[in-house]
Amino acid sequence: MRLELGNIFIKDVQFGAKTKVEGGILYINKDEMIKEIGGDEHIKSIAIEIARPGESVRITPVKDVIEPRVKVEGPGGIFPGVLSKVDTVGSGKTHVLKGAAVVTTGKIVGFQEGIIDMTGPGAEYTPFSKLLNVVVTAEPVDGLKQHEHEKAVRMVGFKAAAYLGEAARNVTPDEVKVYETEPLLESVKKYPDLPKVGYVYMLQTQGLLHDTYVYGVDAKKIVPTILYPTETMDGAIISGNCVSACDKNPTYVHVNNSIIEDLYEKHGKEINFVGVIITNENVYLADKERSSNWTAKLCKYLGLDGAIVSQEGFGNPDTDLIMNCKKIENEGVKTVIVTDEYAGRDGASQSLADADPKANAVVTGGNANEVIVLPPMEKVIGHVEFVDTIAGGFDGSLREDGSIEVEIQAITGATNETGFGYLTTKGY
């Protein structure tokens, strides 16, 4: 499967009479956009604002971050099974508004949305502070149940990203990157001397607003399966999570999974990147055993020499991570795990809820319990009063002067597990 990603570098975002990309600037007709993404009976109001890198702006509580993309050639469309038909995506041509993002906010859904600071020390912990953010504030009708609220805001975000992505359809990309994965037997024949490496992509599926969707299907309902890596780049995997801000992979991270991109960089040179195995993180022991058994079986079936396993979330997903690692190693496949760790504010606590001697090759996402003080910002988009109750905050986190003392788990993207957040911004 071969996909061409056409990156259109966005230098600024401005409101204008017509939604278009011209001279590297994304112009947005605000009224038209609100009309296009509105209409849900569960949402009583929508507002759109722009937050640029370096501005004294705080966005909270953050629900999701989504990169605008549009399918210009090949089967299917962006977010298949959600906004587009359930066609297999990942081939053809897709245009990307690189440097821009949709950020959804509004009244809190659960207790685990996050914070994005566009400047200051908090900005150093989130990659989303480097983006030109189109912030969509979607306020729910009174008395709305949490799961209905989550779905409504989720869909507003996807519609917003698709609407902006359409502006890139007929624009000539500034850069074209090609990603290709051959069918397994062809790949092995093409690179007979290179080690076969796969990526085990653990998806958050604990339920109670901790959900990820694959082609529109709640991933808690699937058994582990194989994807072409390029399918993720067209939005085959999307976030529905309200898990702690630094522990979830927003949709932006799913379509820009840096583990997948890094493996492609080495494909055909140092390794043979044969594909992605997606698996879930359910809460019952039998489900964990089933999924880890299937994951190890698929690694063996693909004839892998090595595997990278990333987790999403912490606590009982640590058990899924270690089960996957141990069982894949038992199949004779060398395994590296990417962890999400909570070691206490002093760093002295056990950072994972599970462990095994076979987990001896580890990339850490850092300690999410580390405490940081975020200085006051001149402008807040959203509802800052919720920082006392989000994960990572506590009674008294929000100070009278507008500064905030929180654990870094409250910062969106601070320690996520695909290498996109903490691993890149902190240089680990």
Q: Where are the domains of the chain?
A: 2-410
Dihedral angle sign, alpha carbons of residues 117, 118, 119, 123: positive
pTM of the model: 0.94
**What does each of the 428 residues of the chain score in pLDDT, given as a tens digit?**
999 999 999 999 999 999 999 999 999 999 999 999 999 999 999 999 999 999 999 999 999 999 999 999 999 999 999 999 999 999 999 999 999 999 999 998 877 789 999 999 999 999 999 999 999 999 999 999 999 999 999 999 999 999 999 999 999 999 999 999 999 999 999 999 999 999 999 999 998 889 999 999 999 999 999 999 999 999 999 999 888 898 889 999 999 999 999 999 999 999 999 999 999 999 999 999 999 999 999 999 999 999 999 999 888 899 999 999 999 999 999 999 999 888 889 888 889 888 999 999 999 988 999 999 999 999 999 999 999 988 899 999 999 999 999 999 999 988 655 544 333 323 22
Residue with tokens 């890149």: 424
Measured between its terminal Cα atoms, the distance across the chain in Å is 32
Active site members: 242
Residue 1 CA to residue 3 CA, distance in Å, equals 7
Contacts of 322 (CB under 8 A, 6+ apart): 337, 352, 354, 355, 356, 359
